[in-house]
Structure 1
Amino acid sequence: MKTAPLLLLLAWLFSPASQALQLYTEEYPPISFSQHGQAEGLAVDLVRELLKRLDQQASLQVVPWARAYRIAQTTANTAIFPTMRNSEREPQFKWVGPILLANDNFYALKGSGIKVGKREELARFKDIAVPRDWFTYQELTAAGMHNLLGVTEPVQMFRLLRMGRVPLIVADNLSFYARDEAAVQVDYLGPDDVEVVYPYRSSYGYITFWSGTEDWVVRRWQTALDQMKVDGSFSRIYQRWLPGAEEPGLREPGWSGIP
């Protein structure tokens, strides 16, 4: 039965686990963004280092978030990053991380005079801009906040704030680290241009794999990421992009995520 080993080999070669990994990320500087036709950013550098350590080849594309999210939900051998975890998303993917720690806040332009003492007071604002594909929009909508202005891309939100078209946006603190060409994605707003009027919460970002990905693949990626955190290479990459920013630990508090 010499054909049996050959059939097994062919079956493996054409199985989903053997096919090349397709990685997707979005325009989210300085975490991930396109520059001169190439993907750049903190998360991109982390993923490239992981691929190197795993001796794995993969394609990497920067695409609109809604498209990336749809692909990773339905297509074998795909992953997206960074994905912020919530209860709705958790069963839809397999998770490796965390690779990111962000503080989400309600921001106004500096000097706006806007004061918010408690969450209920946010209801008095007509439009609060946030991308409709972000989990923050989904979460706040589910919580009954009806004055959100859902935009298609993050840059629209930042532009609306700069132009005074909306009084508030919901964003994370990391966005304002963007510099040089990447800053166009936040309409060139920096930390000195905005102020926190109401702190929302902390979020953890992950690499999320198609739900049919083999558990051993996810564990292999998680182990390599853990090793980067232990040997200091994770911190060096993180601080190069986000100097002084708080880093995520080995695990998000209260959640392991390892299959």
Structure 2
Amino acid sequence: MLAFSVFSIPVWGSEKLYIYTENFPPYNMSSTGLAFEHNGEGVDGLCTERVKAILKAASVDHVIKLRNWDYGYNRAQNKKNHGIFCTTYTESRASQFKWVGPLASNLWTIFAPPGTNLKIDKLEDTRGMLYAGYRGDVMTEYLKERGYKVSEMESDDLNPKRLELGQVDLWIAERLAGPFFASQQNVEGLVPVFSFNNVDLYLAMNLDTPDDVIQKLNEGLEIIKKNGLYEAIGTKYGL
């Protein structure tokens, strides 16, 4: 069984980490089906299990909470010892956080409605079409920065249904997460028409988090890679 305690022995006295994530299955998700979770016992997923394993190996006192992306991201940007996962590492974000990882990789995928005949050879082929996305998401920001039209929601939950109903032309999501969200909305037959930009996902910590904490966390990552736990968690989720 790949189960990890959220309790550990603090090694930095009063230092405690406050770590946020969002509902983004299979990487991070509520294990009880709720929109929010107040502690790590209610949070599951590929990245979550790896983060919990890292925290346990590093013996770091912590709290894990599940919120919407904007809330967690802003806390990680603005409060010492706060972080968020799984966060896409980009050049523009590199200087905004201290990084632990990579925890997993993420293949950006464009989905079209069921029964589509759409053929896409490159991203430019979709210019002028309306995408479904969500606020604060790196994929949504990537499209907007390049002049693509994106209809943004507070989360990704409803976007598969919006695509099925024809409210948008396309939906940008992640290779594994897209089908999970669609199944939760009882949406079947969405067609992956183009994939691009395979990126790494990390735990992003506030810049005021002490360097020795970040070092200890990355050492924890190396421990679970060496003992096989990192790979075992990936295998559990089909990687």
TM-score if structure 1 supplies the norm length?
0.78
Q: Select 2:19's aligned residue among 17, 23, 46.
A: 23
Using the TM superposition, give the Cα deviation of residue 176 of structure 1 relative to its aligned residue in structure 2, in angstroms.
4.1
The equivalent of 2:57 in structure 1 is 53
State percent identity of aligned pairs. 25
Q: Retained in 2: the 8 A contact 1:17–1:213?
A: no
Distance 1:177 1:224 in 2: 31
Aligned ranges 1:17-166 → 2 under 5 Å: 18-36=14-32, 37=37, 38-125=42-129, 127-145=130-148, 147-166=149-168
The equivalent of 2:226 in structure 1 is 230
Larger radius of gyration: 1
The equivalent of 1:11 in structure 2 is none
Gaps of 5+ in 1: 1-15, 246-259
The equivalent of 2:4 in structure 1 is none
Distance 2:99 2:196 in 1: 24
Q: Structure 1 residues 141, 164: closer, same or farther in 2, change over 3 A?
A: same
Q: Structure 1 residues 123, 83: closer, same or farther in 2, change over 3 A?
A: same
Moved over 4 A (4+): none
Q: Retained in 2: the 8 A contact 1:102–1:202?
A: yes
The amino acid that maps onto 1:161 is: L
Using the TM superposition, give the Cα deviation of residue 189 of structure 1 relative to its aligned residue in structure 2, in angstroms.
4.4
Using the TM superposition, give the Cα deviation of residue 232 of structure 1 relative to its aligned residue in structure 2, in angstroms.
1.4
Aligned ranges 1:210-221 → 2 under 5 Å: 210-221=206-217
Using the TM superposition, give the Cα deviation of residue 97 of structure 1 relative to its aligned residue in structure 2, in angstroms.
0.5
Distance 2:183 2:13 in 1: 38
Using the TM superposition, give the Cα deviation of residue 144 of structure 1 relative to its aligned residue in structure 2, in angstroms.
2.3
- Number of residue-to-residue matches in the alignment: 220
Q: Retained in 1: the 8 A contact 2:55–2:220?
A: no
Using the TM superposition, give the Cα deviation of residue 175 of structure 1 relative to its aligned residue in structure 2, in angstroms.
0.6
The equivalent of 2:6 in structure 1 is none
Gaps of 5+ in 2: 1-11
1:66 match: secondary structure? helix
The amino acid that maps onto 1:18 is: S
Q: Retained in 2: the 8 A contact 1:23–1:59?
A: yes
TM-score if structure 2 supplies the norm length?
0.85
Distance 1:72 1:204 in 2: 18
Distance 1:100 1:124 in 2: 32
Distance 1:17 1:201 in 2: 41
**Deviation string, structure 1 residues 55-96 (Cα, Å, up to 9, x no partner):** 222111100000001001111111110001112211110001
Provide the aligned C-alpha RMSD in A.
2.1
